[in-house]
Amino acid sequence: MRGAVMYAPGDVRVEDRPDPRIEQPTDAIIRLTATCVCGSDLWPYRGVEKLEGPTPMGHEYVGIVEEVGNEVTALKPGQFVVGSFWASDNTCANCRNGYQSGCIHRVLMGTIGTQSEYARIPLADGTLVATPEVPSAELIPSYLAASDVLGTGWFGVVAAEAGPGKTVAVVGDGAVGLLAILAAKQLGAERIIAFSRHADRQKLATEFGATDIVTERGDEGVARIKDLTDGLGAHSVVEAVGTQESMLQAMHSTRPGGNVGFVGVAHDVNLPGMDLFMSLVRLHGGPAPVRRFLPDLLDLIGNRTIDPGKVFDLDLPLEQAAEGYKAMDERRAIKTLLRP
Amino acid sequence: MRGAVMYAPGDVRVEDRPDPRIEQPTDAIIRLTATCVCGSDLWPYRGVEKLEGPTPMGHEYVGIVEEVGNEVTALKPGQFVVGSFWASDNTCANCRNGYQSGCIHRVLMGTIGTQSEYARIPLADGTLVATPEVPSAELIPSYLAASDVLGTGWFGVVAAEAGPGKTVAVVGDGAVGLLAILAAKQLGAERIIAFSRHADRQKLATEFGATDIVTERGDEGVARIKDLTDGLGAHSVVEAVGTQESMLQAMHSTRPGGNVGFVGVAHDVNLPGMDLFMSLVRLHGGPAPVRRFLPDLLDLIGNRTIDPGKVFDLDLPLEQAAEGYKAMDERRAIKTLLRP
């Protein structure tokens, strides 16, 4: 089969890779309908994360079940399925507690690489959620968004305990930040403040439900949030970048007793203890347990309540994956969808 | 009046200080019935925190109202009162939200110094809670504990979301950690694991409700907690030390989706972002909003449901404050009560 492999920073190639096969009786093989490039794929692309040799890429996926292992009981060939970037058994204590990204048998899909024609999905019964029928083409981008960026933004908002009567601020205007805005709106937040300085992203933020746009960053951004909230700070802040500046901006934008939901993969972040101590905020985040939210999200997409697929503003054949990465790196695209 | 002043690390003297007087119409003057030495007073005593010249010490207090300012309406001379180490108006948005330690008008009592015969209490109506009558002598230590260490331990447990069905671990066997055990017991925790390697403190931990004692620290301590919790970690962990090691021990002892309540004043703590990210825990803490809990805590003490005053194992006249500090520094005493 064909699949994307990163050889070095800036060097992504689509080449022949071995066809996946059932390795464990709990595996399924899916034929990818669509996959995409994640903001986190840009860390190695930009050389911030080290590569250990040529690496198959991708961890977001929707597709059709081709084959299942002997112990798979909930799925059958021909079904359209969505899964998260963690494969999880969905039965262990951590899964039952809603933390499938902390599943004691979890497998990181990024180690498998789903920017490809086919993929092996471990723990298929726990990992994959099937739609009632194979969806029509225009819904594919939204289902694909559910695989990571929508579920991650949604978790950020839940972790930040946003809801009715709350003012929510979102740090980061990438796909996750934008979809956190959509999630905050769905979950009933009263006021949604987007930090963004890019016109195209501001526009999408507003479409998704942002009521205010703040273009300042760092301490100036924090001061603007205070201005907008009687000097107190937001009730809930979603952090969707993962840098030291963005984490501190999120913490300092939150009122005492308020909540920071952080979902940006941390890079060189070291939180000063006294700063955290004096802020009196609640911090929760990490790799999103997307599986917790998938059934509800697939319903909301299927009945056309939400349209998270709008974050894909570049749609390419898998063979042009290199251009998909480049466009995101250069911020010409928010998110690239790839079609095998 | 007489009051304790720290001149340098290890050098605490009781000397004549000016009698406090009403400065603002919202002030009250109290005559101290008892005061005490806090674990946090040991940071400057040990030279870890820098002193800016001779510093009046103390921020814990119970006493009798002597005089009130013109705008004080809820208190009158002769009442026995308890307050927290933050003076707070108890009316601003942060106070109404239960974060009186984040009051927009807060005053840190440590800047006033309550290891003395009298003290000025700012924002008296918001800060002080009166008991129905002047309590009998044997209850004084417990009311004094409510002023900080009980309220702080209680907040740690609430921040860690401990309760029925939960396994709680407490890092730190000082007065705050021990009273976090008492609080966890009161709040219905099913299992309470104390980290402690001192026989006298293990004994008090058990009296307060600890069901298990772990003597290991750091990674070994974490491994013991995992052993005791089916490999998952505790649901709730209270951190009552404030060092890098204790914070990481607390984080790593908590299961995904579990809660760390941190109330040890942070010293040289820098939380590695990726470690926090991958732990999937919820962190909440900071300077405890003791005022939130005072009415309930005073009831529990008054009706003899709890006896937090047991943490005072040294009871000295104020004039012997220097010995009170020394005994705590050398770990001969858990906590020193001082009587003016």
- A96 close contact with B: CB closer than 8 A: no
Query: What pLDDT does residue A266 have?
Result: 85
Q: A-chain residues within 8 Å CB-CB of B110?
A: none
- A165 close contact with B: CB closer than 8 A: no
Task: Check A94 against B270: CB less than 8 A apart.
Answer: no
Which residues 234-253 of chain A have a CB within 8 Å of chain B?
242, 244, 247
Q: A114-123, A186-195, A266-275, A309-318 — which is least confidently predicted?
A: A266-275
Nearest chain B Cα distance for residue A337, angstroms:
27
Cα of A208 vs its chain's centroid, Å: 16
What integer is the mean pLDDT of B247-261? 98
- ipTM above threshold 0.90: yes
Query: What pLDDT does residue B267 have?
Result: 84
At residue B328, does pLDDT exceed 90?
yes
Q: A-chain residues within 8 Å CB-CB of B94?
A: 232, 255-257
List pLDDT tens digits, range A49-108: 999 999 999 999 999 999 999 999 999 999 999 999 999 999 999 999 999 999 999 999
Question: Which position has the token pair 């207090």?
Answer: B61
Mean pLDDT, rounded, of chain A: 97
Confidence of residue B268 (pLDDT cuts 50, 70, 90): confident
List pLDDT tens digits, range A262-315: 999 888 899 999 999 999 999 999 999 999 999 999 999 999 999 999 999 999
Task: Check B230 against A93: CB less than 8 A apart.
Answer: yes
For domain A150-285, say whether CATH 3.40.50.720 is its number. Answer: yes
Strand bridging mode B254-262 / B282-285: parallel
Among B43, B260, B276, the residue to mutate for chain A (most A Cβ within 10 A): B276
Query: What pLDDT does residue B265 have?
Result: 85
B171 with B148: CB under 8 angstroms? no
Query: What pLDDT does residue B206 have?
Result: 98
* Spatial separation of the C-alpha atoms in residues A235 and A165, rounded to whole Å: 9
Structure tokens at B318: 């104020």
Task: Output the CA torsion sign for A145, A146, A152, A155.
Answer: positive
Query: What pLDDT does residue A287 have?
Result: 97
CA distance between the termini of chain A: 10
Confidence of residue A194 (pLDDT cuts 50, 70, 90): very high
CB-nearest to A102 from B269, B272, B280 is: B280
Task: Check B244 against A98: CB less than 8 A apart.
Answer: no
Nearest residue in chain A measured CA to CA from B268 = A273
Query: What pLDDT does residue A322 have?
Result: 98
**For chain B, percent of residues with pLDDT exceeding 90:** 97
- B94 close contact with A: CB closer than 8 A: yes
Query: What pLDDT does residue A204 have?
Result: 97
- A108 close contact with B: CB closer than 8 A: no
* Spatial separation of the C-alpha atoms in residues A331 and A310, rounded to whole Å: 16
B88 with B73: CB under 8 angstroms? no
At the top level of CATH, the class of B2-148+289-339 is alpha beta
Which residues 53-82 of chain B have a CB within 8 Å of chain A?
none
- B137 close contact with A: CB closer than 8 A: no
Task: Output the CA torsion sign for B89, B94, B97, B99.
Answer: negative
Query: What pLDDT does residue B334 have?
Result: 94
* CATH 3.90.180.10 boundaries in chain B: 2-148+289-339
Strand bridging mode A107-108 / A86-87: antiparallel
Nearest chain A Cα distance for residue B242, angstroms:
8
List pLDDT tens digits, range A219-242: 999 999 999 999 999 999 999 999
B193 with B212: CB under 8 angstroms? yes
Query: What pLDDT does residue A145 have?
Result: 98
**For chain B, percent of residues with pLDDT exceeding 70:** 100
- A24 close contact with B: CB closer than 8 A: no
List pLDDT tens digits, range B95-152: 999 999 999 999 999 889 999 999 999 999 999 999 999 999 999 999 999 999 999 9
What integer is the mean pLDDT of B201-207? 97
- How many A-B residue pairs are in contact by the CB < 8 A criterion? 128
* Spatial separation of the C-alpha atoms in residues A22 and A29, rounded to whole Å: 7
According to CATH, the superfamily of the domain at B152-285 is NAD(P)-binding Rossmann-like Domain (3.40.50.720)
Question: Which position has the token pair 């993969």?
Answer: A265
**For chain A, percent of residues with pLDDT exceeding 70:** 100
* CATH 3.40.50.720 boundaries in chain A: 150-285
* CATH 3.40.50.720 boundaries in chain B: 152-285
- B98 close contact with A: CB closer than 8 A: yes
Q: A-chain residues within 8 Å CB-CB of B244?
A: 273
Query: What pLDDT does residue B313 have?
Result: 96
Nearest residue in chain A measured CA to CA from B286 = A277
